[in-house]
Chain A
Amino acid sequence: MSVLDILLKYYPAFLNGLEVTLQLSSIIWGLGLFLGTLLAVAGTKFKYWIGIPSRCFSFLLSGIPILVFLFWLHYPAQSMLNLVINPFYTAALTLTIVNIFAVADIVRSALIDFPQQYLTAAKVTGLTKKQTIFKIQLPLILRTTLPALLMLQVVMLHTTLFASLISVEEIFRVAQRINAQIYRPVEIYTALGLFFLAVSLPINGFALWLRAHFTRDISET
């Protein structure tokens, strides 16, 4: 049985798994990028109330393996709170939290390291606040952060595999189930690898293209 045969025979199951993976990824990407950016901006503006606590939490989170965090939210936290939550939502919540803080770290660094001389130039040439934000700050910050943010989203897509370990019916769990039935690990996991390559490589490629086309030497400008 070739990879193609397996895909043709089990495509309804693979499609269901793919749908769950993409739903999970969309939640993680959308909320992570939006709330992470918001957290970074708020953290730079309200340093003591938001900035420092969020950095402390981010530091703490960076020391906990994602799998441990996921299992902790799935088993002990729910048992302590006497709750039973659908594992899909637990996985979405866990990975979104991780993404929010990772995005916030990238955006925060770009905001803090933003070269002040460009703002001074905007001031002395009489640009309005709106022009300074939309024509100077935002384009420059996007250029700095976009490649890293895209790469991060690819990593987050890969971490959705962990959701299979708390019984979320995403594509990896589907692949495991099919393998348990027919035991064709080479073909099945090759098919899975191809799926991830098909989704990840264009994003990675786009990130590299952005880096190559929009990163400029700003050391002497």
Chain B
Amino acid sequence: MLKATNIHKSFGNKDVLLGLDVSVKEGEITCLIGPSGTGKTTLLRALGGLDMPDQGTLDIDGTLYTFSPTHKDTIPDPWPHITVVFQSLFLWPHLTLRENILLPARNRWDDFKAMETELDGLIASFEMAHFIDQYPNEASLGQRQRVAIARAIMVKPKYILMDEITSSLDIEQVYKILTRLEELKGRGIGILLITHQIGFAKRAADHIVFMDKGETTESGNASILTEPKTKRLKEFLSMVKMAH
């Protein structure tokens, strides 16, 4: 299990995370929802080992790392055991989309034939055949999003942290991603998903965390989206409803 407890993070005088708790279990999808600028991506970077918290504890598969103003444990590089798909995708522009997937994947597969078969499956399932040999600048945002997800899947992670991965996909593609996430869950991969699409969270999540102003305001299973307990989540959901 990937578990963050009482996470604090500041940038200069700006406090972004104020004692936040979140956990990602193997074979489960945790969705992180909340207004923009509330620290969701900061939390994701902390969980992904990219930015260390100022305070709190991180539990990675039973190993506890503690952070305080006077002491910071060093986390051995957790990648690609934990991998991240960013909202801004970060595909390497000088490699074709296929090479973007295969370059890191080759480090993780002993059997290259099996790797190719797995990739072929992903290409078919994400409908990437017609653009997989193009360069990132020749593909649309939606196409690049699918490639970024495929790249993360192909490095055989135990946890995938995803930041707004469905923002540029059409309903059909979102449905396909959902199916794929279910499949990843089935393989025992733990997924943390930041999303603004409440419907998607409702369908995909085993556990939902609603974050506001750097804190966990409410958490629970998908029912918190239909029967919210806190006033702030009720407000947020009604605003989302109005916007749609």
Binding site for B on A (CB under 8 A): 117-118, 120-128, 131, 135-136, 139-140, 143, 214, 216-218, 220-221
Task: Convert B95-127 into 0s and 1s, putting 1 for each residue whose CB lies closer than 8 angstroms to a CB of A.
Answer: 000000001100110000000000000000000
- A residues within 8 A CB of B144? 220-221
Is there an interface contact between B50 and A124, defined as CB atoms closer than 8 Å? yes
If over half of B's interface residues share one DSSP class (helix, strand or loop), that class is named, otherwise mixed; here it is loop
> Can you list 12 residue pairs at the A/B interface with Cβ under 8 Å?
A117-B88, A120-B50, A124-B50, A124-B84, A125-B155, A126-B107, A216-B94, A216-B137, A217-B137, A221-B89, A221-B90, A221-B93
> B77 near A: Cβ within 8 Å?
yes
- Summed over the interface, the residue pairs from A and B with CB atoms below 8 Å come to a total of 74
Q: What is the chain B residue whose CB lies nearest that of A219? A: B137
Is there an interface contact between A126 and B104, defined as CB atoms closer than 8 Å? yes
Instruction: For residue B44, give the distance in angstroms from its CB to the closest CB of chain A.
Output: 11
- A residues within 8 A CB of B107? 126-128, 131
- Tell me the B71-92 residues at the A interface (CB within 8 Å): 77, 79-80, 82-84, 86, 88-92
Is there an interface contact between B94 and A143, defined as CB atoms closer than 8 Å? yes
Is there an interface contact between A124 and B141, defined as CB atoms closer than 8 Å? no
Q: What is the chain B residue whose CB lies nearest that of A214? A: B94
- Tell me the B37-96 residues at the A interface (CB within 8 Å): 48, 50, 77, 79-80, 82-84, 86, 88-94
> B17 near A: Cβ within 8 Å?
no
Is there an interface contact between A221 and B151, defined as CB atoms closer than 8 Å? no
Instruction: For residue A206, give the distance in angstroms from its CB to the closest CB of chain B.
Output: 18
> B22 near A: Cβ within 8 Å?
no
Is there an interface contact between A216 and B79, defined as CB atoms closer than 8 Å? no
- A residues within 8 A CB of B34? none
Instruction: For residue B235, give the distance in angstroms from its CB to the closest CB of chain A.
Output: 33
Is there an interface contact between A125 and B83, defined as CB atoms closer than 8 Å? yes
Is there an interface contact between A221 and B79, defined as CB atoms closer than 8 Å? no
| Among B50, B82, B90, B93, contact of A216 (Cβ-Cβ < 8 Å) | B93
- B residues within 8 A CB of A125? 79-80, 83, 103-104, 151-152, 155
- Besides the contacts A136-B92, A217-B137, A220-B144, what 17 more A-B pairs have beta carbons closer than 8 Å? A117-B86, A117-B90, A118-B90, A120-B86, A120-B90, A121-B91, A121-B92, A124-B79, A124-B83, A125-B104, A126-B104, A127-B104, A139-B94, A140-B93, A216-B136, A221-B91, A221-B144
